[in-house]
Structure 1
Amino acid sequence: MASEHGNGANPGPGGTSGPSSNIHTTALERELAQLERINSTISRLISTIRTTHTNIDSMNESSNNTHILLDQWIRILSQTNFTHEIINDGWNGETADVEGLAELEKSLLEELASLEDENGALRRKIDEKEKERQETESKQEEIATRRRRELGLLRTTKRPRI
Structure 2
Amino acid sequence: MEHQQLKKLLKFTLKEKRVIKRLGIPPDAFIPLLFSIRFGGDWSFVRNSDKFMAVKEKITEYDEKEKVGCTIEIVYLFLNPRILKEEGTVYRLEKCGDKGERKLVKRPYKMIIEADYIIKASLDPLNLKIKLKRIKEPVKFEGSGAYGASHEMEHLSKGQISGRPFWEFEYEIEE
TM-score tier, shorter chain, comes to under 0.3
Larger Rg: 1
**Using CA pairs below 8 Å that are at least 6 residues apart, which structure has the higher relative contact order?**
1
- Greater fraction strand: 2
TM-score (norm 1): 0.20
- Greater fraction helix: 1
